[in-house]
C-alpha cells in the first residue's frame, strides 16, 4: 500500500481552510442594525442633490483611483431616480462610467429594488435602523473587458446629511477590492 506524501495533504488542508474562510465571510445581516439611530429613510435621504467623495482599493488595500460624484435624486410616489455623475482621478481613461442612472422602486417595509443599465438583473436592497444593504451584479469595465462583479454594498446614516458607504467587490467569492464613499446632502428637501 502506497502512502500519500505529506506535502499534498498540507496543500489540501490549506485549500480547505481558504474555502471555509471564503464561505464564512459576510455573516452580518442588516436586521442587526434595527435599533441603531438615526433611522435611515432612503426616500428622505436620497431627496435633492448629494455630493460624494470616494476611492477604489484593490484587494491588497492599495488605492487605485479616487472619484467625486454628484447625485441628483427625485421621487414620484414609490418610484425614485438617482442620477449619478462621476469625475475620476484618471480622467475616465480606465473606461469607468461618467454617469449611472438608478431607477428605484420602494417595495415597502424597508425593501427596495434598483435597476441601472450596467446592473445585471436587479439590485436588491433592505434597510433596517441606520443601515441599508444593496446586493447586485455590476458589468464592470476592467482594462477594456466587461466583467460581471458581485457587489455587497453597505450604507450607514451618520446624521441627516452624511452617509458612509462601503462596497466589497468579488468574483466567484474571491474579494477583488473595495469602494469607500462619503455622501453629503446639499439641501434637506422632503420626498414628495
CATH of the domain at 127: 2.40.128.20
In a domain, 120, yes or no: yes
Residue 1 lies in a domain: no
**pLDDT tens digits along 54-73:** 999 999 999 999 999 999 99
Contact by Cβ (8 Å): 66, 55: yes
45 inside domain: yes
In this structure, is residue 163 part of a structural domain?
yes
Of residues 97, 77, 101, the one with CA closest to residue 88: 97
> Which residue spans within 44-118 are E strands per DSSP?
48-58, 63-76, 79-88, 99-108, 111-115
Q: Per the domain annotation, does 190 fall within a domain? A: no
Q: Summarize the confidence of residues 150-159 as an average pLDDT.
A: 97
Answer yes or no: is 158 within a domain.
yes
pLDDT digits (tens, 9 = 90+) for 9-20: 556 555 545 444
pTM of the model: 0.81
In a domain, 83, yes or no: yes
Within-domain flag for 191: no
Domain enclosing residue 32, as ranges: 6-185
Instruction: Say how many domains are in the chain.
Output: 1
Amino acid at each position: 500500500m502506497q502512502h500519500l506524501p505529506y506535502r499534498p495533504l498540507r496543500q489540501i488542508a490549506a485549500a480547505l481552510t481558504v474555502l471555509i474562510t471564503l464561505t464564512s465571510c459576510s455573516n452580518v445581516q442588516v436586521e442587526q442594525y434595527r435599533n441603531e439611530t438615526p433611522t435611515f429613510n432612503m426616500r428622505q435621504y436620497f431627496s435633492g442633490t448629494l455630493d460624494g467623495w470616494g476611492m477604489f482599493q484593490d484587494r491588497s488595500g492599495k488605492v487605485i483611483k479616487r472619484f467625486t460624484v454628484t447625485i441628483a435624486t427625485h421621487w414620484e410616489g414609490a418610484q425614485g431616480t438617482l442620477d449619478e455623475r462621476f469625475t475620476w482621478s484618471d480622467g475616465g481613461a480606465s473606461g469607468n462610467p461618467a454617469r449611472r442612472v438608478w431607477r428605484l422602486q420602494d417595495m415597502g417595509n424597508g425593501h427596495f429594488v434598483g435597476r441601472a443599465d450596467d446592473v445585471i438583473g436587479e439590485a436588491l436592497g433592505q434597510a433596517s435602523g441606520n443601515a441599508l444593504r444593496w446586493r447586485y451584479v455590476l458589468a464592470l469595465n476592467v482594462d477594456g473587458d466587461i466583467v460581471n462583479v458581485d457587489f455587497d454594498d453597505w450604507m450607514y446614516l451618520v446624521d441627516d446629511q452624511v452617509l458612509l458607504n462601503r462596497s466589497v467587490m468579488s468574483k466567484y467569492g474571491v474579494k477583488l477590492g473595495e469602494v469607500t464613499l462619503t455622501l453629503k446632502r446639499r439641501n434637506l428637501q422632503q420626498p414628495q
